[in-house]
A and B are shown apart, each in its own frame.
Chain A
Amino acid sequence: SQTIHQWPATLVQPVGSPLSLECTVEGTSNPNLYWYRQAAGRGLQLLFYSVGIGQISSEVPQNLSASRPQDRQFILSSKKLLLSDSGFYLCAWSVLAAGELFFGEGSRLTVL
């Protein structure tokens, strides 16, 4: 069966520090991968999605970036965190471009 792992689960970082959140999917090949951010009361905001290795589409201009170095690995990064980057980050995958998403457990980022 397919599983998705996301880490770290919780992260507290100072303003200006770098960020790396990692997501891996097991049990499937060539998944579509997504990063969402969830801020309180604002639902889920799509940040990045990827349909293949090295293929990243960005939805929102910001100081975050994403990379897909391997088929089932998706990394969210920042060189310098801002206070506004605090939130709950969710990685997700899907088999097809159209279809349900399967979510990881999320990473809670607090920027101080």
Chain B
Amino acid sequence: AQSVTQPDIHITVSEGASLELRCNYSYGATPYLFWYVQSPGQGLQLLLKYFSGDTLVQGIKGFEAEFKRSQSSFNLRKPSVHWSDAAEYFCAVQHDDMRFGAGTRLTVKP
């Protein structure tokens, strides 16, 4: 069965520290891959996406993600976190339709 796993429910990092949010998927073929961000009480905004080609993709707000086929992973990274990055982050995969992970809530300490 198709599935998307975000192993970390909640992550806390200090402002200025680096960040990595994990995402693993289980699909028969390489799907399209996305990361979305959601601020409280709002809709989701696309951070970045991977369809094909270069496995390291750059997104908005200084985020990047790397597709690793051998690990079925698409982890999101940012070298230096800002307080405004505090939000919920969703990994999503699309093959026949769009499936979302359960999300990772990011808290940023001052």
Cross-chain contact of B102 among A41, A90, A103, A104 (Cβ < 8 A) = A41
- Report yes or no: A42 in contact with B102, Cβ–Cβ below 8 A: yes
Known: A90-B43, A103-B44, A105-B42. A41 touches B9 (CB 8 A): yes
Is the CB of A31 closer than 8 A to any CB of chain B?
Answer: no
Main secondary structure of the interface of B (DSSP, over half): strand
Is the CB of A60 closer than 8 A to any CB of chain B?
Answer: no
- Report yes or no: B99 in contact with A46, Cβ–Cβ below 8 A: yes
- In the complex, which residue of chain A has the Cβ closest to the Cβ of B98? A101
- Report yes or no: A43 in contact with B32, Cβ–Cβ below 8 A: no
- Report yes or no: A100 in contact with B49, Cβ–Cβ below 8 A: yes
Query: Which residues in A have some Cβ–Cβ distance to B below 8 Å?
Result: 6, 34, 36, 41-44, 46, 49, 59, 88, 90, 92, 94, 98-106, 108
Q: Can you list 23 A-B contacts (CB < 8 A)? A: A6-B43, A34-B98, A41-B9, A41-B103, A42-B102, A43-B100, A43-B101, A43-B102, A46-B98, A90-B43, A90-B44, A92-B44, A94-B98, A98-B94, A99-B32, A99-B94, A100-B34, A101-B46, A102-B46, A103-B44, A105-B43, A106-B43, A108-B41
